[in-house]
Structures are given as structure tokens and as C-alpha cells.
A and B are shown apart, each in its own frame.
Chain A
Amino acid sequence: AAGVIQSPRHLIKEKRETATLKCYPIPRHDTVYWYQQGPGQDPQFLISFYEKMQSDKGSIPDRFSAQQFSDYHSELNMSSLELGDSALYFCASSSYDETQYFGPGTRLLVL
């Protein structure tokens, strides 16, 4: 079965640069979630979208923005990157049955 796809899988950026992470949900899933997992930390919720509208917001810095497009894929845009943004970024998708299925994550390293 198709799973959640995230790209890129690895990303290296310099401080103050911009990064864009992409998430492609499982077909027919209408909800996308973004989580951030710092080194040795548990995943922390950032933001979610349902039917292309923001449905919830967590501890997401103002430097970050996200959206869900008409094909339901989502992008997380991160600007003015800081060293502390280095983390594993997970995307998850769900449909009405509510189980969240996770992607493999994008590992971001900010130098």
C-alpha cells in the first residue's frame, strides 16, 4: 500500500537560509500533520491541515509557515534557519478513520 512520502529525506542548510519540506499524504487522506523531533526529544506537533485549511497549530515558530495544496500535499517552509532548527521533521496523514500514518521524516541539519 502507498505510504506517506516526504522529500527530501536529508537536507543541509546554513544559518539564515530557507528550507522547504514536502509531504505527500496517502491517497484519499485529507488531513496532514507536521511534527518536529529534536535530538533525543519526543515528536512535537507543529501544525495540521484538513481539507486545505489550517486545523490546528502547535509550537511552530513564526519563521515557519505551511500550507496544503489542492492535491492535498503539504509544504513546510522554514526561513531564517537557526542551529536549533536541526531536527527530524515528520509528516503524518489521516482520513476520517483518524489513524495517523507517518512518513519517514526529513532530517534537517543547519550549520
Chain B
Amino acid sequence: AQRVTQPEKLLSVFKGAPVELKCNYSYSGSPELFWYVQYSRQRLQLLLRHISRESIKGFTADLNKGETSFHLKKPFAQEEDSAMYYCALRAGGTSYGKLTFGQGTILTVHP
């Protein structure tokens, strides 16, 4: 069975400071990892997927299979980054697999 852990329920930083949202996973196979973001009163939106290896809104995330982690990083946080962030895993080898979510981290960026 797969499991996703986001150890921080709440994370507060000041504008311009670096931010790192932690995500650890447990899965015996080869997973696909995602970060979804939910701004206030809006739907869940895909932020990043590890196989794309791209930077969205200044955020990056690297899959570390040795540490089973997929931490989300941004060097300079902005107030508009304040939102709920979910790390999610999909079991590898299935094209239409369910997502297993972490508990979510509420990021607040103070001016």
C-alpha cells in the first residue's frame, strides 16, 4: 500500500524568504509524484509532476528515491503563494491510477 506524509500542517514564512514544503512517501514500486495546490475557495490545481521536471510559478520539486522524498521548494516566496499544498502519489505501472494524498500543508506568506 502507498502512503504520503506531509509532516508540516502549517508553514509560515515572510515574503522573499525561501520555502520548502516536505513530502515523504512509502511505496514499494516506482511511483509518480505530484504537487497540487488549492487557493482559497478554488479547486485543486496541478502544480508539478515529477516526470515533467519543470518549474511552475518558481516552484521546483525533485524526486529523491533514496530518501523517498519529493519536497517542494521556492527560493523567494510571494504573498500569492499562500494556499493549501498537497503532495500526491500514483502507483507506477498504471495509466489510470488513483491518487493517494498527503495531509496537506497550509502555507502562509506574510508581507
Q: Which residues of A contact B (CB under 8 A)?
A: 3-4, 31, 33, 35, 41-45, 48, 50, 55-56, 58, 90, 92, 94, 96, 98-105
Interface size, chain B (Cβ < 8 Å): 20
Interface contact B101-A58, CB-CB below 8 Å = no
Q: Which residues of B contact A (CB under 8 A)?
A: 32, 36, 42-46, 49, 86, 90, 95-104
Interface contact B98-A102, CB-CB below 8 Å = no
CB-based nearest A residue for B51: A98
Expressed in whole angstroms, the minimum distance between the Cβ of B102 and any Cβ of chain A is 6
Q: Which of B46, B97, B100, B102 has the most CB of A within 10 A?
A: B97
Interface contact B43-A94, CB-CB below 8 Å = no
Residue A104 contacts which of B43, B96, B97 (CB distance < 8 angstroms)?
A: B43
Residues of chain A within 8 A of B102, CB atoms compared: 42
Interface contact B96-A58, CB-CB below 8 Å = no
Across the A-B interface, how many residue pairs have beta carbons closer than 8 Å? 51
Expressed in whole angstroms, the minimum distance between the Cβ of B51 and any Cβ of chain A is 9
Q: Which of A3, A43, A58 has the most CB of B within 10 A?
A: A43
A-B contact pairs, 23 of them (CB 8 A): A4-B43, A41-B103, A42-B101, A42-B102, A42-B103, A42-B104, A43-B44, A43-B86, A43-B101, A48-B98, A56-B96, A56-B98, A90-B44, A94-B96, A96-B95, A98-B95, A98-B96, A99-B46, A101-B46, A102-B44, A103-B43, A104-B43, A105-B43
CB-based nearest B residue for A47: B98
Residues of chain A within 8 A of B104, CB atoms compared: 42
Residues of chain B within 8 A of A102, CB atoms compared: 36, 43-45
Expressed in whole angstroms, the minimum distance between the Cβ of B99 and any Cβ of chain A is 6
Residues of chain A within 8 A of B36, CB atoms compared: 102
CB-based nearest A residue for B44: A102
Distance in angstroms between the alpha carbons of A90 and B36 in the assembled complex: 14
Distance in angstroms between the alpha carbons of A40 and B39 in the assembled complex: 16
Expressed in whole angstroms, the minimum distance between the Cβ of B82 and any Cβ of chain A is 19
Interface contact A50-B96, CB-CB below 8 Å = yes
Interface contact A45-B103, CB-CB below 8 Å = no
